[in-house]
Structure 1
Amino acid sequence: MSRVQLSVVALAAALVIGGGAFYLGRSSAVSSHGVGAQGQAPAAAASAAGERKVLYWQDPMTPGARFDKPGKSPFMDMQLQPVYADEASDTGVKVSSQVQQNLGIRTAVVKRADVSASFDAVGAVQFDERLNVAVQTRTAGYLERLAVRAPMERVAKGQALGTVFAPEWLGPLNELIALKRSGASGELVAAARERTRAMSIPADLVRQAEEGSTPNARYTLVAPAGGVIAELGVREGVAVSPGMTLFRIAGLEKVWAVAEVPEAQAVQLKRGQKVSAALQADPGQTFTGTMQEILPQVNATTRTLQARFEVDNRGGKLVPGMLLRLQVAGPTASRLVVPSEAIIRTGTRAVAIVRKDNGAFEPREVKLGAELGDQLEVLQGLAEGDQVVASGQFLVDSEARLRSVLGSLAAAEPAATQASAPASMPASKAAAPAAASYMAQGKVESVEADSLTISHGAIAELKWPAMTMGFNKPSAKAFPDVKPGDSVHFEFKKKGDDYELVSVHRLGGAK
């Protein structure tokens, strides 16, 4: 092979090798680029999936204005806060688990419980006047000896109380003795006995006179029932007369507990209701009783009625003046109850913070029934199994109030206005009425070529607090007489993302 041919062959081989290397490198580059894109796509997708969608930005102090990008608030010296789609679409308020733990937010479950319509009252012990017994004498005489010398002494049934001497009994007794001795007919003796009976001479004295032939006009008064001497009407040696009450004995087997019961609770009382009582000084001593009656009289000052309870006192431990804590049992019924601490009372309504299934918190107005100790009966607003916030609900409620303001403003926007707004237009433009203008008073802090900085008071229409902010001029030559330090009355309107002055009047001067 000639040298020329060898050169041609070498050149062709070089071209083949170079072209193969070029195509191989290109395919490797394309392949590596494709692999990288595929490797990065899941990461980008995961990143996009992990991000929350921001609907708009807002100033928490002025929630009515909305912005399409983050930045500094034109109203306050603070950054705008994002509002996410999952928050705006939810009617409740979400609080992170970490914040819930830091604030000690605790929930309770609304449940049904068998509750009796019972209530507590305090009653004062009194004598049961139905057990009172009066001890009297039916003849004139003298109280020779007194066995009981002081009121409130305890006596037993059949115990001697005193000895009475009745001189008037001597005549009938002597007559009966004489008739027996003379052998008078049975009719005369029977008539004499009837006379002694009419003069209330005890049968024992009559029998003693007939048997012993010696009249005895002294007799002993005994207690007809056990109890205490509630009234002592005589002293030793005094004269007594027929019908005179010498002793009054009050029984202690049963006593009354009289309690002041409010009108609202008195309607629940019925005759025969069971009551359990405990000494206020010693709760360990308990007694049982029943409700006897409600006295038909209302205390105009306290608006209470007196209820009379009969309490068993066979042990004699209760005496008048003691205080009893009464627990009146009522009918048992199944009621929906919630802890008292879970209810926020505003004066006109009651609110509970309910935890929803998705973890958000929602304020809910409820209608309450009776107070059952540390629980409240729920008539409307909650269902069995609902979780309510029992601790930290005021923080959740304040956040819910802010969200409810946002919700009401969003609902008030005309749907057509939002639909017709171009995509490039900021959300704040669509939310604020273009023709609306506002008036306020303030003090000019500085004057620039295209704006005025004014310190003004609160503006209720925009829910602005008192602050210092800049207002654009309609033109550079507008308001030439206004100077720093002037007190002015001004009118402005929203124009784009800013606020523009319509008129400025110095207070006490011309424009």
Structure 2
Amino acid sequence: MIFKIKRRALLIGWPRVLGFTGLVGLSLATLPAHAQADEQQDKEVLYWYDPMYPQQRFDEPGPSPFMDMDLVPRYADEGGDGASMSIDPGIMQNLGMRVATVTRESVSEIVTAAGILTFDERDVAIVQARSGGFVERVYGLAPEDVVEKGAPLADFLVPAWVAAQEEYLALRSLDEPQLLEAAHQRMRLAGMPAEYITQLERGAKAISVWTVSSPISGVLRTLEVREGMTLPAGAPLARINGLETVWLEVAVPESQMSVLAMGQPVEARLPAFPGEALQGTIETILSEANLDSRTVRVRIELPNPEQRLRPGMTAEVTLTRSDEMALVLPTEAVIRTGRRTLVMVTEGEGKYRPIEVRTGREAGGKTEVLEGLEENQQVVASGQFLLDSEASLRGLTTQMNQPVSAPEPALHEAEGTIITLEEGAIVLSHGPFKTLNMPGMTMSFPIAEESLLQDLAQDDRVRVGVSESDEGLVIKRIEKLGGQL
């Protein structure tokens, strides 16, 4: 049969056609025509509808106002219990639908992020002038040069050292231990290094030039001296960063911060060393997030004994965290509509029910289920979108995986003054209950619970919520004006 579809109906209903023709159409096609007619005569019709516009229901059969066809009946047993639906198992098999089991397993999260190597700011040496003097020579170095421990940086003439040394040498020939010790102390106070004082004690000539050397191996970050300069005591001469270890700073999206932990092992791969994986640990999770990129910086310490790793290199970092056992299901079984997350649960005998779930982490094709499912439940892992479309056609409501309770009756509210308090009741002079079209008056109301009368007294102004029952209007809620009781 070919239907001539009106343009308006096509625009409104086309997104739902696939679900209807894929399931309902196939279901009807599997039955002979006379069998369909005989079976349908015994069924109770709930309403009629147009498959292209299923949200519109009609009380009587007739032509569709949306397309050139008759309205289709919806029978009482097509929608199961109102929250589930029945699909012929043969149709499910023909459509290639698969089911999966909700299991409890260890959830491992893997996060891949980019990082950049920086200096280890804890491995820093600052060289300063120990006394005022003059720069006589600067060795052939410049900032960013790599220097070894003990490498000379500059020669520094310190006049104050020469005077202190000459005094020491003069007193040494007088055999005056106390004076000699005082001269020794003056050399130390003048800023002479211990190795220079030892060298003077072994010789008989004053040392006038101090050769400033690097105290550690590393990168010469700054060199603040030039030949001929005059420097005061304490002036900075050089700053050197060690390379025995380097920091790898990684920007991790704040949504994945739960994966991070101090001391966590990580794996880093650098384009400079293809095929090689470097192992390190998370040393620090920095306290401030980046407002622009919404990322959290993580500091990883990498050993660098061969000094191959240089600040500025980039790296791809993999962080893996194995967590405690959790309920998981295949990620492909999850239907995300934008407003909620659903799965189609199988209930046996060809019945399926849409269930709303709350999901957590995702890793390795598995999604953690925080709420809505139980272990060993069966869910549809392939073709669930067709079932979801059919559920929408049938008007099925999704629910969390728990018993459905009847909604609480609506409460009708009014304000009033307590006249007297009685056992199990309250006499109230109240204003109108607008939702009941009931004018204000003074009357006695039974209460649902004795605890509602706690801390209430005569002449209190209150707001009450009442519901209709066989006993009349019963107070279900009392609210003292200014605070709830």
Give TM-score, length-normalised by structure 1.
0.58
Matches within 5 A, 1:111-260: 111-116=103-108, 119-147=111-139, 149-181=141-173, 183-260=174-251
Partner of 2:268: 278
Matched, 1:55 2:48: no
- In structure 2, the gaps of 5 or more residues are 1-31, 398-485
Partner of 2:85: 92
Measure the CA separation in 2 of the matches of 1:208 and 1:312. Answer: 37
Matched, 1:375 2:366: yes
Partner of 2:458: none
Partner of 1:434: none
Aligned-partner SS, 1:55: helix
Residue 286 of structure 2 is aligned with which of 283, 294, 319?
294
Measure the CA separation in 2 of the matches of 1:373 and 1:195. Answer: 71
Matched, 1:389 2:389: no
Aligned-partner SS, 1:364: strand
The 3 A distance-change label for structure 1 pair 266 and 187 is same
Measure the CA separation in 2 of the matches of 1:338 and 1:85. Answer: 33
CA displacement at 1:276 relative to structure 2: 0.4
CA displacement at 1:163 relative to structure 2: 2.9
Measure the CA separation in 1 of the matches of 2:179 and 2:131. Answer: 24
Measure the CA separation in 2 of the matches of 1:213 and 1:88. Answer: 110
Measure the CA separation in 1 of the matches of 2:99 and 2:40. Answer: 31
For the Cα contact (< 8 Å) 1:288–1:311, is it kept in 2? yes
The 3 A distance-change label for structure 1 pair 194 and 376 is same
CA displacement at 1:138 relative to structure 2: 0.7
For the Cα contact (< 8 Å) 2:100–2:379, is it kept in 1? yes
The 3 A distance-change label for structure 1 pair 390 and 232 is farther
RMSD across aligned positions (CA): 4.0
CA displacement at 1:197 relative to structure 2: 2.1
Measure the CA separation in 2 of the matches of 1:207 and 1:300. Answer: 57
Aligned-partner SS, 1:139: coil
CA displacement at 1:330 relative to structure 2: 4.7
The C-alpha deviation readout for 1:415-440, integer Å capped at 9, x for no partner, is: xxxxxxxxxxxxxxxxxxxxxxxxxx
Aligned-partner SS, 2:183: helix
For the Cα contact (< 8 Å) 2:79–2:86, is it kept in 1? no
The C-alpha deviation readout for 1:377-407, integer Å capped at 9, x for no partner, is: 112232333333333322222122223469x
**Identity value in percent:** 36
Measure the CA separation in 2 of the matches of 1:74 and 1:186. Answer: 125
For 1:127, give the aligned amino acid: F
Give TM-score, length-normalised by structure 2.
0.60
The 3 A distance-change label for structure 1 pair 147 and 113 is farther
Measure the CA separation in 2 of the matches of 1:112 and 1:130. Answer: 44
The 3 A distance-change label for structure 1 pair 113 and 207 is closer
The 3 A distance-change label for structure 1 pair 280 and 383 is farther
Aligned-partner SS, 2:286: strand
For 2:212, give the aligned amino acid: L
The 3 A distance-change label for structure 1 pair 374 and 144 is farther
The 3 A distance-change label for structure 1 pair 233 and 287 is farther
Measure the CA separation in 2 of the matches of 1:142 and 1:104. Answer: 88
Residue 320 of structure 1 is aligned with which of 295, 311, 331?
311
Which one is further off, 76-85 or 275-284? Answer: 76-85
Aligned-partner SS, 2:357: strand
For the Cα contact (< 8 Å) 1:54–1:85, is it kept in 2? no
CA displacement at 1:366 relative to structure 2: 1.6
Aligned-partner SS, 2:225: coil
Measure the CA separation in 2 of the matches of 1:374 and 1:146. Answer: 62
CA displacement at 1:99 relative to structure 2: 6.6
CA displacement at 1:340 relative to structure 2: 2.5
The C-alpha deviation readout for 1:315-356, integer Å capped at 9, x for no partner, is: 434333334444445562111112323222122211112334
The C-alpha deviation readout for 1:82-118, integer Å capped at 9, x for no partner, is: 98998565832425546754x5534433222201466
Aligned-partner SS, 1:397: helix
The 3 A distance-change label for structure 1 pair 245 and 104 is farther
Measure the CA separation in 2 of the matches of 1:77 and 1:206. Answer: 110
Tell me the matched-pair count.
Answer: 352
For 1:94, give the aligned amino acid: I
Measure the CA separation in 2 of the matches of 1:314 and 1:80. Answer: 80
Q: Name the structure where helix makes up a greater proportion of residues.
A: 1
For 1:278, give the aligned amino acid: A
Measure the CA separation in 2 of the matches of 1:376 and 1:322. Answer: 35
Measure the CA separation in 1 of the matches of 2:371 and 2:88. Answer: 26
Partner of 1:420: none
Measure the CA separation in 1 of the matches of 2:332 and 2:266. Answer: 29
For 1:254, give the aligned amino acid: T
The 3 A distance-change label for structure 1 pair 304 and 60 is same
The 3 A distance-change label for structure 1 pair 276 and 88 is closer
The 3 A distance-change label for structure 1 pair 87 and 204 is closer
Aligned-partner SS, 2:181: helix
The 3 A distance-change label for structure 1 pair 370 and 148 is farther
Which one is further off, 107-116 or 55-64? Answer: 55-64
CA displacement at 1:244 relative to structure 2: 1.6
Measure the CA separation in 2 of the matches of 1:196 and 1:335. Answer: 71
- In structure 1, the gaps of 5 or more residues are 1-47, 407-511
Aligned-partner SS, 2:131: coil
Aligned-partner SS, 1:215: coil
For the Cα contact (< 8 Å) 2:139–2:153, is it kept in 1? yes
Measure the CA separation in 1 of the matches of 2:286 and 2:197. Answer: 50
Matched, 1:351 2:336: no
For the Cα contact (< 8 Å) 1:149–1:235, is it kept in 2? no
The 3 A distance-change label for structure 1 pair 202 and 399 is closer
Measure the CA separation in 2 of the matches of 1:189 and 1:247. Answer: 34
CA displacement at 1:184 relative to structure 2: 4.5
